[in-house]
Structure 1
């Protein structure tokens, strides 16, 4: 039995190692205090976004997802942006990632968002198999970014 809930203050101790592992996967190293501050900001401001945590029946944390709220002009609608999806290695391929996405879709519907959108690294073939398996459409958009200093 898998349960998924919105992250609260009591979850931060178990969320932190998964956030760190997610960052390590993408070879980035933000300070732990910044990751904690982000999680706390989302708890304090759910209109900005939220984090979901998946747990096994024995409450072992299995994964997390982060969804931010925004608008997208091309759809003329509110969207949820699935910025992070992480499943612990031992739980990959068991439906945890799919369950986090499905829960994210329910939350989007509840908040009036018309779409759930996300990105993944071109070489993250494991995640892409999941996305293909749930019928996600690949976008033709190229992501660009600039650092703000």
Structure 2
């Protein structure tokens, strides 16, 4: 089962979010991560979908964190699928696909025709899923970041 997360889901979402950040070599800090998620949900700055174990609907096993923004090139809203994570103990069961399909449904609901994401160059497992789901790797535009301190 997949549903939109609420503030009441923070205790289930936070450990998954923490695992996700550790995967990307960030330090584990559940309290800081919970605060970040709480702010995004309270301020309606992000949409989070949670996947639950079919055998234990009280146990969250995956999530997506999505930001809605705009693109001048698309002249439309776009969804940034910023984070997608499924608990390592339950992967290869289609949960990632289901979370992406829920994101596609959201894009249709919001009349957006583009979902954008980034992933690590060495995350071949995720890349296979994204290709399978119809995502195309951008060979035209480069992505740049500027860290401001």
- Report the CA distance between 1:111 and its aligned residue: 1.7
Take 1:147 and 1:90, find their aligned partners in 2: how far apart are those partners?
Answer: 34
Aligned length: 146
Q: What SS does the aligned partner of 2:131 have?
A: helix
1:87-122: per-residue Cα shift (whole Å, max 9, x none)?
111221111000001001111211222211101101
- Report the CA distance between 1:30 and its aligned residue: 6.6
- Report the CA distance between 1:80 and its aligned residue: 0.5
Say whether 1:84 aligns with 2:83: yes
What corresponds to 2:48 in structure 1? 51
What corresponds to 2:7 in structure 1? 9
- Report the CA distance between 1:42 and its aligned residue: 2.5
Q: Which structure 2 segments of 5+ residues have no match?
A: none
Work out whether residues 62 and 91 of structure 1, in 8 Å CA contact, stay in contact via their aligned partners in 2: yes
Say whether 1:114 aligns with 2:116: no
Q: What SS does the aligned partner of 1:24 have?
A: helix
What corresponds to 2:147 in structure 1? 147
Take 1:49 and 1:10, find their aligned partners in 2: how far apart are those partners?
Answer: 15
Q: Which structure 1 segments of 5+ residues have no match?
A: none
- Report the CA distance between 1:131 and its aligned residue: 0.9
Take 1:142 and 1:99, find their aligned partners in 2: how far apart are those partners?
Answer: 29
What corresponds to 2:34 in structure 1? 36
Q: What SS does the aligned partner of 1:42 have?
A: helix
Q: What SS does the aligned partner of 2:98 have?
A: helix
1:44-98: per-residue Cα shift (whole Å, max 9, x none)?
233x221111001212211011000110111111000000000111221111000
Work out whether residues 42 and 51 of structure 1, in 8 Å CA contact, stay in contact via their aligned partners in 2: no
74-83 or 8-17, which moves further after superposition? 8-17
Take 1:89 and 1:128, find their aligned partners in 2: how far apart are those partners?
Answer: 16
